[in-house]
Chains A and B, each alone.
Chain A
Amino acid sequence: MGKIATAGNDGADVRSDCQVTLELTSSGGIEIDLTSKVEALYGAAIRKECEEILSYFGICNCHLVMKDSGALSYVIQARLEAAIKQVIDTDKNYLPPMLDTNNYITEKERYRRSRLYLPGNTPKLAINAGLHSPDGIILDLEDSVAPAKKYETRFLVRNTLRAVDFYGAERMVRINQIPKGLEDLEYVIPHNVHVLLVPKCEDAEQIEVLEEVIGELKEKYHVKHDIWLMPIIESALGVINAYSIAKSSPYIVALAIGLEDYTADLGTQRTNEGTETFFARCQLVNAAKAAGIQAIDSVFSDVSDMEALAENVKRSKQLGFDGMGCIHPRQIGVIHENYAPEEAEIERAKMIVNAYILAEEQGLGVVALGSKMIDPPVVKRAQRTIDIALKTGRIDANWRDKFLKEV
């Protein structure tokens, strides 16, 4: 009897996924036992796809049982590859084509108001995620994935990065805690990941280790673009070390805070008022701003209460946070609306951006507002404010004409 391996999910609530059980046999060729909810339309295509993948890995004799609940090609490929790699040793990877629309990169100063968490091993949530226009989408390899599913999830996350259209959202992956998370990197670095979220980050050394491995992989896979880092602070020690973490690498774009683990670490519980996390939030905002990066707030877990979410976002913005995580697409709109810049911020941003444009036109190296010099990061932030104001319909595309008339 040959080895047997299983990957994927099956069950009453499972959709757009499949479960494969692969057994190597010594003779009899490839035997595929498929039950599919889309048999009439895709049964033949699925069998053909499985045969191609098995043949790519040089498997000629096996018994494959597949229970399919409407998995897209890239999911089937990930599931089968994860099973195959448990029964044979191989260096080969079966990669779905990278979508043209996924070949963009992001800037350090980009706005990051909302970033939508997707459990890395639940394919049905991924395909439409970008349509809800979050600023970022996080494919999660960490807490939302059961330990026994970590291995197969890497293949699915890799294929998702390639085959699912992110519709312009920043492409993020939350890896596992360092050092375990270092094993995740090979599956994401070559596939145009923009930001790595580093969970339970407690000190600057973790970032140094991470950067080293990223550097090696970038070289190995000829990755040219910057890969940004967003450490998540989730412990008392992490909060104390927040500033040194924030300063540990030029690729760090933001510090995020994870309050569930933090409150557990304190031995207390999270409340809506948030008194118990007030210090940590302020500390994190302060550390991030001191380091010239963004501060990102924890998720709000009651997905049905939009009013409480809006209140939460307003408080968060007031504390100095630039954005927060979300766990349901419905939260995105509320988050965007409530992090939106206020009138005074927009007016100030208009002045700064206008001064910048004037300086450019006059070939000046320095941007000044009245007698005050404006630093480049301030200009970038002002541009971001204008972008958001444009995107949310607060100002028109020709705002500058009006602005110049009024001045």
Chain B
Amino acid sequence: MAAELVKNFVGRLVPTEVNGKKEVPYLGNGKYRPEGHRYGPPIVCGEDYPADGNKVVPSLKEALQAAGLRDGMVVSTHHHLRNGDLVANEIFRIASEMGIKDLVWFPSASFPCHAEIIKYMEDGTVHHIEGSMNGPLGKYCSEGNMRGTAILRSHGGRYQAIEDGEVIIDIAVIAAPTSDPFGNCNGVNGPSACGGLGFALPDSLYAHKSIVVTDNLVPFPCIPMQLLGNYIDYVVVVDKIGVPEEIVSGTLQITKSPDRLLLAELTAHFCDAAGLIYDGFCFQAGAGGTSLAISNFFHQLLKKRGWKARWAIGGSTEYSVKMLAEGQLEYLLDGQTFDLSAIKSMRDNINHPDISVFHIYDYHSKGFNSTMIDVMVLGATEVDVNFNGNVVSHSDGYLLHGIGGWQNCLFSKCTILPIPLFRNRMPVILDEVTTLVGPGSMVDVIVTERGIAINPLRKDLIEKTKNSGLPFKTILQLQAEAEAICGKPAKPELDEDIVAVIKWVDGTLIDSVRKVKTK
């Protein structure tokens, strides 16, 4: 890479230019303040659209042609259909057939089902990806096979990049489980129901052209109108937009792993001892097995004391729905819907509304709700002795996950990472994280099965919990304990070449990801 490297606020070397565009290094929170106005898409005239409100075109190919698909465009998709998405691959298959080159794929997240996109990077249809790099795509990128540099953003950072005009979406393709011919759509009905459609909100507002793809067309009006047809250019009806059993899980369950349950129990005890749980508190309910177990501890505790949580952000599942139904939770604000009972609840329960990234995570919104949350429980692949966290790569250097809302969530009042001290011999607390995704100053507590480390910056938490009898240790003690069991890990050997960059929530660069050395 020819671009110059500079050291950013957290000491990481980042390029000053990525894919031909100038970049700003991370300067510290609140230091980078762009000026001017939000990006605006071209003005349109309603007269140019069918007066009968019928925007249906016969095929996705014709819609893409009508939208003017050509070389070098930015095409966005969304991950509401998760690993069951059939639409994104289809877009690039069509583009490849049309001989289109050098597209930028801008998904809100990718899943293993998108491995097919590798084929379209190989044949030149796709130049690079700006979004999460999961599974096979992460491997492809880490080994230096992608022509451009991947740009990873948080959910909130994606919204910010669209508002800033940092990413200009030429064509947004929105897979919608139910739509009317005008393009009003929702995710709560239809054979591919997925819950909310909030991740597609900024794309519908800011893209030059927007296409809704559905497998359940209903006559106008489609109610609820989670996304407005007034922002949609074309509607396409296909046989199937997704594979239902991969979209929602029928079996999201509280972890059965005794080690994870122990982590959950320690985390819940810590929250209680620190006074984070009170009548009217709020929390983010994750959908991972450990998070579910923690929410369940909260639920039981509230029940026992006759308390209620005022609101929670989901990650909604059967468990948070149950909490809502049983009265220990007043409002479930739903950013992502994980199972069928949560979809049903969103459809039927007025206290379970769908929300978008704009509400909770967006850096350019006039305040974002994640700062208001009392308890935020998150995961991490690695942390380091300075509490910095990594969620995108593994200790061998491979990119395997997206950032999701992780960076945005760090802004909560108390961020807790329950993580095992080591996974299959790999210590989780390192001298230095392989990729720095979140600054340690924002990580408050690390809970492991062998002890709890509170960030020394959080003197208040240390003071409140000092007589709790919980097993507190310093992060260095925890690291030493892991290394006594596993041995000191070597640092993976990585190339100089940068294959991906990590954005902070304000659009600056917080770290770079190096190419993995392959044999």
Contact = CB atoms under 8 A, between A and B. Distances in A.
A224 to B, nearest CB: 27
A41 B258 contact: no
B490 interface: yes
Among B395, B397, B487, the most chain A Cβ lie within 10 Å of the Cβ of B487
B486 A72 contact: yes
A80 interface: no
A330 B256 CA distance: 8
Contacts of B449: 128, 131
A294 B492 CA distance: 53
A353 B487 CA distance: 47
B425 A16 contact: yes
Nearest to A70: B424
Contacts of A40: 395-397, 490, 492-493
Contacts of B486: 42, 72
Contacts of B373: none
B450 interface: yes
Contact of A128 (B259, B397, B489, B492): B259
B450 A131 contact: yes
A407 B101 CA distance: 90
Contacts of A15: 424
A132 B424 contact: no
Interface in A29-77: 37-45, 69-73
B426 A70 contact: yes
For this complex, into which size category does the number of interface residues on chain B fall? Answer: 20 to 34
B54 to A, nearest CB: 52
A44 B261 CA distance: 34
A329 interface: yes
Contact of B426 (A41, A73, A124, A128): A41
Given A128-B449, A330-B261, A42 B489 contact: yes
B303 to A, nearest CB: 18
Given A16-B424, A72-B485, A41 B490 contact: yes
B289 to A, nearest CB: 14
A379 to B, nearest CB: 29
A131 B490 CA distance: 27
A194 interface: no
Interface residues of A, number: 25
Contacts of B13: none
B487 A131 contact: no
A281 interface: no
Given A131-B450, A330-B261, A41 B424 contact: no
B482 to A, nearest CB: 11
Contacts of A71: 425
Nearest to B486: A72
Nearest to A125: B258
A359 interface: no
A243 to B, nearest CB: 37
A115 interface: no
Interface in A1-45: 15-16, 37-45
B432 to A, nearest CB: 14
A125 to B, nearest CB: 9
Nearest to B490: A41
B262 interface: yes
B330 to A, nearest CB: 30
A132 B489 contact: no
Interface string A333-362: 000000000000000000000000000000
Main SS at interface, chain B: loop
Contacts of B487: 42, 45, 73
A41 B492 CA distance: 6
Contacts of A41: 395-396, 425-426, 489-490, 492
Contact of B490 (A45, A127, A128): A45
Interface string B172-188: 00000000000000000
B262 A127 contact: no
B425 A132 contact: no
Contact of A330 (B258, B425, B492): B258
A328 interface: yes
Contacts of B397: 40
A72 B421 CA distance: 14
Among A38, A41, A304, the most chain B Cβ lie within 10 Å of the Cβ of A41
A45 B491 CA distance: 12
A132 B262 contact: yes
Contacts of B485: 72, 127
Nearest to A124: B424
B424 A131 contact: no
B292 to A, nearest CB: 15
Given A131-B449, A329-B258, A38 B424 contact: yes
Interface in B244-273: 256, 258-259, 261-262
B142 to A, nearest CB: 12
Interface string B478-517: 0000000111011011000000000000000000000000
B361 to A, nearest CB: 33
A43 B256 CA distance: 32
Interface in A102-127: 124, 127
Nearest to A45: B487
Nearest to B430: A41
Nearest to B434: A40
A328 B257 CA distance: 10
B425 to A, nearest CB: 4
A64 to B, nearest CB: 19
A301 to B, nearest CB: 16
B259 A42 contact: no
A69 B450 CA distance: 23
Contacts of A131: 259, 262, 449-450
A166 to B, nearest CB: 13
Contacts of A72: 425, 485-486
Contacts of A42: 425, 486-487, 489-490
Interface string B88-107: 00000000000000000000
B13 to A, nearest CB: 21
A38 B426 contact: yes
Interface in A121-167: 124, 127-128, 131-132
Interface in B407-425: 424-425
A51 B285 CA distance: 49
Nearest to A133: B262
Contacts of A330: 256, 258, 261
A44 B490 contact: yes
Interface string B450-491: 100000000000000000000000000000000001110110
Contacts of B424: 15-16, 37-38, 69-70, 124
A9 to B, nearest CB: 14
Contacts of A128: 258-259, 262, 449
Given A132-B258, A132-B262, 13 more contacts: A40-B492, A41-B395, A41-B425, A42-B489, A44-B490, A69-B424, A70-B426, A128-B262, A128-B449, A131-B259, A131-B262, A131-B449, A304-B256
23 contacts: A38-B424, A38-B425, A40-B395, A40-B396, A40-B493, A41-B395, A41-B490, A42-B425, A42-B490, A45-B487, A70-B424, A70-B426, A71-B425, A72-B485, A72-B486, A73-B487, A127-B485, A128-B258, A128-B259, A128-B449, A131-B259, A131-B449, A330-B261
Which 7 pairs show the lowest CB-CB distances between chains A and B? A70-B424, A329-B258, A40-B396, A41-B489, A70-B425, A40-B492, A128-B259
